[in-house]
Structure 1
Amino acid sequence: MTLVEPTTSDRLIYDPRTGDVIGPVPQADPAEVDAAVDAARAAASGWAATPAAERAAALHGAAAAVRSAADELTDLTGRETGKPAADARGGVDAGVGTLIQYAELGPVHRGRTLHGDPGATDLMVPGPRGVVAVLTPWNDPVAVAAGLLGAALATGNTVVHKPSERCPATGRRFAEIIAAHLPPDVLRILDGDSEVGSRLAASEVDVVAHVGGTATGRKIRAACAVTGAYALLENGGNDPLVVDAGVDPGWAAEQAALGAFANSGQICVSVERILVHADVAAPFLDALAGQAAAWGGRIGPMVDRTLRAEVHRQVVGALDAGARVRAGGALPDGPGAFYPPTVLEDCTPEMDVFATETFGPVAPVRVVPDFATALREAADDPYGLAATVLTSDMAHAQHAWRSLPVGTVKINNVFGGAPGGAAQPRGASGTGFGHGPELLDEMTTVKVVHLEGAPAQR
């Protein structure tokens, strides 16, 4: 196993619960980035030629090792991101399951036989794309990285992985555990901030797989347009929650609170804006304010004070523009990066808190006169990640899932969905399948083969 030994920068990370300094963010220099890509390129042909069953066995071994290190990874995740212990452990367990999933799916990933001339054989054969640059986020560092690393490695690609600079120890340790079960240079690890990520994304790789912010995703698209690499992106979202007339407002408030406040609102598919039918708006808002108070004692901090300041800026901007606070909305005293569950009413589509991704524990609410207006406003957005609709009207449900221009529509459950579901985000939210068996297709390229016998010698 060969790992990049990074230098250090002056950037520090802090425990978001206490404000204590954890340490500096390691920073790979440009030469280290180039060396990691070159090494992964040199190892690519050997790993691609490794039988799929052997690659799967390596991933199974890695998954077992991650399970054995679950306590360590849980602690690192909590220290760097502020996740409560149960949530952090859930992310590690999900990562183990995902590695096993791709270890099982990799050997049965298949091509097609075409029906051509009966005297010949025509095949569509999938093969690895080559070198995959994987850039992963901090909000669920083990679970997200496990998917991209697992799918890339199972299909015979080599990988250069840069975890988020907000959780460098978690990301590095997780990748080191996997790399220990692979041949040298099949998985290289880089630490660093956006400069390192930008250099990696613009290097001579074959795929750039990124989960993170939309602004970064746009830069990656531009870089890939120059290099010819395939961009696989899951970026920001501004996910709406539609609350229809006729639903129980207390239950709807529970769903809204779960979607807006879980992990302090730092989930890619968090509820970012709420459109509630006027018929149930008053009891819904009362119940949601009560939910915010109940959630206040059980959520962790935000990842750092920089993100907290941006969330609070959006809240203050909404208040200045006419919104009203029903719960929260004030910066707390004390150490760390805590922010209270916040409910805003009288929001308008022009407010930043309603028009952009907030990524904090904020539930901005807008009252609408009817279901059609709610759907129209939910769809009027540059993002296209996910949406949730709470309704007891099956016709409304059918119309909603067919018409909303997003990758995932959830009816009557903000985090519902069967295992293995894979969606393609739209617009500013990214491109390509980022989950499930379809991710194996993203990590491979197809070669068409026509095999025909030569004529007999004359």
Structure 2
Amino acid sequence: MTTLASPPETLDVLDPSTGEPIATVEIGDADAAVRAARAAAPAWARTAAAERAERLKAGARRLREHVDQLAELQSREGGKPLADSRGGIEAGIGAIEQYAELGPLHRGKALQGGWNATDVMVHEPRGVVALLVPWNDPVAIACGQIAAALVAGNAVVFKPSEKTPLSGARIVELLDIPGGALQLLQGDARVGRPLAAHPDVDLVMHTGSVQTGREIADVVAGRMGKALLELGGKDALIVDADVDPAWAAEQAALGAYANAGQICTSVERIYVHEAVAEPFVEALARAADGWTIGPLIDARQREVVHAHVTDAVERGARLVRGGAVPDGPGFFYPPTVLVGGDRDAPVLREETFGPVAAVQVVTSFDEALALADDTEYGLAATVLTKNPEHAQRAVRELAVGTVKINAVFGGAPGGAAEPARLSGSGFGYGPELLDELTRTKVVHMGIAP
């Protein structure tokens, strides 16, 4: 009797602007992907660092030749406006090129030992690295993490989000890393969980929710493994009494509405001094009217956002703009402005991840600073002020990985921060990521008699 094989499990990929399916992907096998990466790891680790870098540079050139295609693909499956999507692709390619330069320069240390001895600290690849990449900026994040892991000599199992698998697959095709050192694993939690729990995975790198991050941290700790986690945030913006309220409103709108509020460091809470509160809110409302944004990623995320807004209004917040689910296809939600209400409402305590500017009026900078720091999260915060003492206090007193003064986005290349509190642990970018992706070995070489 012949036994027919079960058909492979699949996932539909939706266009967030219409809600309609645009593709179907086959769910992969986590164990097979890890075993393939483990088999490829020794040869890739023995490949000279300069050669690994050249492979990545060649892949970056191929990606650059297909920027428009990748941008359109990312926009269709993730909902990003096309110009923003292209910017993310360019940033991802830039990250590959940067790590291709940094990798061969990732130096160890020579130690001062005995005259007839050599003592050094050297970096070695960890082995197999699992990357669980989110949907909100899938190409930029994937490119940086893949490049860093590969140039450090690791084999990689790359699992893109099940919501944005198409751009992830195209990245792997265009990078064209030889020997199986880069494995693509498609799927949702059905493959993510066994991937993170696999005993042959040496490091798990996850960018995403606190809930998933906790689960990964627990399972990895059980085998004494390593996890790099960038998780949720509830980033605050402080508007001091001495700044131009119109300029501050422009900054607030950019922080709250860019990518429909679906950026890890989006502004989610605003504490504005009462001296400038009225003109600030008026300017923010005008700014909200002028923003055109893409859809949220799916219906579930829109439900979360709208539930936060509805709850805030029920708790006394004034709805100044937005706050209504629009008619029509897709998962759109309007730029929304809330003022006041219960300071313990979810819109001020939990990650919203949508285009909502929740404003609270305060009587002093001290009050604003205390409220900004009163959170379980610690990803980033922004302070708009002309007062250098206030800026310095924010830098010293806010328990976050990144403090931004007078700009909601920006910063010099090469900066790297460790998240605080529930927002994660470890360096997830910058040159320091290469340290995380390698083990440090001390070598002492003496002379035999």
Whether these two folds match at TM > 0.5 is yes
Q: Which runs of structure 2 are paired with 1:152-167 in the superposition (5 Å)?
A: 152-167=149-164
- Whether 1:213 aligns to 2:212 is no
Question: How far apart, CA to CA, are the structure 2 residues paired with 1:391 and 1:94?
Answer: 29
Offset at 1:128?
0.5
1:308 corresponds to which residue?
A: 302
Contact 1:266/1:360, CA 8 A, preserved across alignment? yes
Secondary structure in 2 aligned to 1:449?
A: strand
1:226 corresponds to which residue?
A: 222
Question: How far apart, CA to CA, are the structure 1 residues paired with 2:13 and 2:327?
Answer: 20
Contact 1:7/1:26, CA 8 A, preserved across alignment? no
Question: How far apart, CA to CA, are the structure 2 residues paired with 1:349 and 1:137?
Answer: 29
Question: How far apart, CA to CA, are the structure 2 residues paired with 1:92 and 1:117?
Answer: 51
Match of 1:81 among 64, 78, 81: 78
Offset at 1:176?
2.3
Q: Which runs of structure 2 are paired with 1:232-243 in the superposition (5 Å)?
A: 232-243=228-239
2:312 corresponds to which residue?
A: 318
Offset at 1:243?
0.6
Contact 2:134/2:207, CA 8 A, preserved across alignment? yes
Offset at 1:188?
0.5
Contact 2:385/2:405, CA 8 A, preserved across alignment? yes
1:278 corresponds to which residue?
A: 274
List 4+ stretches of structure 1 deviating above 6 A. Answer: none
Question: How far apart, CA to CA, are the structure 2 residues paired with 1:347 and 1:221?
Answer: 35
Equivalent position amino acid for 1:187 in 2: L
Secondary structure in 2 aligned to 1:381?
A: coil
Secondary structure in 2 aligned to 1:288?
A: helix
1:177 corresponds to which residue?
A: 174
Match of 2:62 among 55, 65, 71: 65
Match of 1:288 among 270, 284, 289: 284
Q: Which runs of structure 2 are paired with 1:6-155 in the superposition (5 Å)?
A: 9=9, 11-28=11-28, 32-155=29-152
1:3 corresponds to which residue?
A: none
Match of 1:407 among 389, 392, 401: 401
Contact 2:44/2:179, CA 8 A, preserved across alignment? no
Question: How far apart, CA to CA, are the structure 2 residues paired with 1:328 and 1:393?
Answer: 33
1:196 corresponds to which residue?
A: 191
Q: Which runs of structure 2 are paired with 1:418-433 in the superposition (5 Å)?
A: 418-433=412-427
Contact 1:9/1:24, CA 8 A, preserved across alignment? no
Question: How far apart, CA to CA, are the structure 1 residues paired with 2:331 and 2:248?
Answer: 28
TM norm structure 1: 0.95
Residues 186 and 10 from structure 1, CA distance in 2 versus in 1: closer, same or farther, beyond 3 angstroms? closer
Give the unaligned 5+ runs of structure 1.
1-5
Offset at 1:12?
2.7
Question: How far apart, CA to CA, are the structure 1 residues paired with 2:7 and 2:33?
Answer: 14
Secondary structure in 2 aligned to 1:292?
A: helix
- Whether 1:260 aligns to 2:256 is yes
Question: How far apart, CA to CA, are the structure 1 residues paired with 2:105 and 2:297?
Answer: 39
Equivalent position amino acid for 1:197 in 2: G
Secondary structure in 2 aligned to 1:177?
A: helix
Match of 1:439 among 420, 423, 433: 433
Residues 222 and 141 from structure 1, CA distance in 2 versus in 1: closer, same or farther, beyond 3 angstroms? same
Residues 400 and 7 from structure 1, CA distance in 2 versus in 1: closer, same or farther, beyond 3 angstroms? farther
Contact 1:26/1:168, CA 8 A, preserved across alignment? no
Contact 2:10/2:27, CA 8 A, preserved across alignment? no
Q: Which runs of structure 2 are paired with 1:315-394 in the superposition (5 Å)?
A: 315-394=309-388
Offset at 1:10?
5.6
Secondary structure in 2 aligned to 1:126?
A: strand
Offset at 1:119?
2.1
TM norm structure 2: 0.97
Bigger drift between 346-355 and 378-387 goes to: 346-355
- Whether 1:269 aligns to 2:265 is yes
Give the unaligned 5+ runs of structure 2.
1-5
Identity of aligned residues (%): 57
Deviations 1:371-416 (A, max 9, x none): 0111111111111100000001011001111110000000000002
Secondary structure in 1 aligned to 2:216?
A: helix
Equivalent position amino acid for 1:162 in 2: K
Secondary structure in 2 aligned to 1:118?
A: coil
Match of 1:397 among 384, 391, 396: 391
Residues 130 and 245 from structure 1, CA distance in 2 versus in 1: closer, same or farther, beyond 3 angstroms? same
Question: How far apart, CA to CA, are the structure 2 residues paired with 1:35 and 1:121?
Answer: 42
Deviations 1:269-312 (A, max 9, x none): 000100111111111111111111111xx211111111111100
2:3 corresponds to which residue?
A: none
Secondary structure in 2 aligned to 1:134?
A: strand
2:181 corresponds to which residue?
A: 186
Equivalent position amino acid for 2:325 in 1: L
Question: How far apart, CA to CA, are the structure 2 residues paired with 1:150 and 1:141?
Answer: 14
RMSD: 1.2
Secondary structure in 1 aligned to 2:275?
A: helix
Question: How far apart, CA to CA, are the structure 2 residues paired with 1:267 and 1:379?
Answer: 20
Contact 1:324/1:344, CA 8 A, preserved across alignment? yes
Secondary structure in 1 aligned to 2:178?
A: coil
Equivalent position amino acid for 1:316 in 2: T
- Whether 1:249 aligns to 2:252 is no
Question: How far apart, CA to CA, are the structure 2 residues paired with 1:197 and 1:103?
Answer: 28
